[in-house]
Amino acid sequence: MTGSRRNRQLAVLVAWSLAAVALGCGSVPDAADAAPHEPGLPSIGSSSPEVADSHRPELPAQPPPPPAPAATPVVEWRPESPIQGAVVALSVRPGDSVPASAIVGVDGSVSDQALLFERRDDGSWIAVGGIPIDTRDSLSIPLLVHLAGAVSESLQVSLPVAEGEYRLERLTVAPRFGRPPDSALARRMADESTRARAVSRQALSTPRLWSAPFHRPRPGRITSGFGHGRMFNGEVQSRHMGTDFAGAVGTPVRVANCGIVRLVADFYLAGRAIYVDHGAGLVTGYFHLSEPLVAEGDTVRTGELIGRTGASGRVTGPHLHWIARHGTTTVDPLSLLSLDSLMAGQLPEPAARCEAEAVEE
């Protein structure tokens, strides 16, 4: 074969090879090999979340779902039928299916006297209040319950009040006691009342010192009960806002519970008197003493001897006149004796303890 013929055959073979490559019948470099992937660009046939999100329309932000409504706090009281002129225990607890920690505090008042609520171990809050003797049918009690999360709920409680059984007493006193007081005596009596009311108001800010139960200041016979109408020389002029205990001059008088002696004075009506602040709004007073045995500022323990029975002040004979108040509301002192059962034995420890030494007789 001549050289010219071999050259022509070689040219034909090259032409066929080029045609095969052009038609895709031959092998070509892979696209991934031919063009290395550049950062930030997706490979062919893959999806990138970043690129897909950049093309997705933005949706408006949705507000968080509202919290589930909490059950209304439950308010309870003891006794079930409170009586005019007596103390009552009020408790506030979380509603059903609500954790015990839901309530973080409670404020309220009864007859414009502040209620000092304390938390019990079960998560409920309890306070003692006084019902005025002239209350009719019911008493409205405003409460503000503070819930976890800086939320408060206002409640208005209607407390049913039963009528007390108070009789009318007729007394005869010396004419000088039956006449209206002159201006000087009226000023003295007004000043004495102001001093006594100051003790009552102070007790509303004193931490609770007392522990249930309260005790009688004297054993023996009660000669005149609380709440009875007093008719002086044929005219009804007042009610007997305390309880009288029989006792000869010089017999012991003991404090009904732990507290601080706030006032020792010689008053026109009460005679030689002692007022003890028990805290959480409660005050007791001991009137017509022959001899006080404590001084203002003294801390006294339950049952401690604080004075002796006498006949000082406006009286017809020797006895002890015992009073009790919640704030400035005067209540039957004997109703204090039931506080242990009213509190259902679940009272927290007092905020402070009495440290005084008992006085020897």
pLDDT digits 0-9 by tens, 218-258? 998 999 999 988 666 666 577 889 999 999 999 999 999 99
Containing structural domain, residue 174: 168-342
Whether 202 and 263 share a structural domain: yes
**pLDDT for the residue 188:** 95
Within this chain, do residues 151 and 180 fall inside the same structural domain, yes or no? no
Q: Outline where the chain has alpha helix (H).
A: 3-23, 31-34, 49-54, 175-178, 183-203, 339-342
The one-character DSSP state at 83 is: B
Last residue of a domain, one of 125, 160, 195: 160
Contact between residue 318 and residue 247 where contact means Cβ atoms under 8 Å apart: yes
The answer on 332 and 221 residing in a single domain is yes
pLDDT at 48: 34
Same domain, 86 and 222: no
Residues 243, 115 share a domain: no
pLDDT in tens, the chain (361 residues): 444 545 444 444 444 344 333 334 444 333 333 344 444 433 333 333 343 444 555 656 666 654 544 568 999 999 999 999 999 999 999 988 888 889 999 999 999 999 999 999 889 999 999 999 999 999 999 999 999 988 899 999 999 999 988 887 676 666 655 567 889 999 999 999 999 999 999 999 999 999 989 999 999 899 999 998 866 666 657 788 999 999 999 999 999 999 999 999 999 999 999 999 999 999 999 999 999 999 999 999 999 999 999 999 999 899 999 999 999 999 999 999 999 888 866 677 786 666 544 444 4
Q: CATH number of the domain that 287 lies in? A: 2.70.70.10
What pLDDT score was predicted for residue 12? 40
**Per-residue pLDDT, 108:** 97
pLDDT recorded at residue 212:
84
My answer on whether 335 and 188 are in the same domain is yes
- Round to whole Å and give the CA distance between 116 and 113: 10
What span, in angstroms and rounded, lies between the C-alpha atoms of 168 and 314?
19
* pLDDT given for residue 176 in this prediction: 57
In whole angstroms, give the CA distance from residue 177 to residue 184: 15
Is the same domain home to 316 and 187?
Answer: yes
The residues, any chain, with a CB within 8 Å of residue 289's CB and separated by 6 or more, are: 253, 271, 272, 273, 274, 307, 308, 309, 310, 312, 320
Q: Does the residue 23 lie in any domain? A: no
What integer pLDDT is reported at residue 313 of this predicted model?
A: 95
Cα-to-chain-centroid distance, residue 52: 59
Q: Identify whether 64 is part of a domain.
A: no
Q: What domain count does the chain have?
A: 2
Asked whether residue 40 is assigned to any structural domain, the reply reads: no
Residues 130 and 268 in one domain: no
Q: Are residues 153 and 180 in the same domain?
A: no
pLDDT computed for residue 161 by the predictor: 96
In a domain, 25, yes or no: no
* pLDDT score of 60: 63
Position 12 in a domain: no
Residues 134, 218 within the same domain: no
Which pLDDT does position 89 carry in this prediction? 95
Calculate the alpha carbon distances from 109 to 119, 128, 142, 224, 254 in Å.
Answer: 17, 10, 6, 31, 30
| Residue 27 within any structural domain of the chain | no
DSSP at 54: H
Q: Are 223 and 302 in contact (CB under 8 A)?
A: no
- Burial string for 161-194 (b: 16+ CB within 10 Å, else e) reads beebebeeeeeeeeeebeeeeeeeeeeeeeebee
Residue 328 lies in a domain: yes
Is residue 50 in some structural domain?
no
Q: 146 and 283: one domain?
A: no
Beta bridge partners of 310: 319
Q: What is the pLDDT of residue 239?
A: 83
> What's the pLDDT score for residue 223?
94
Same domain for 255 and 122: no
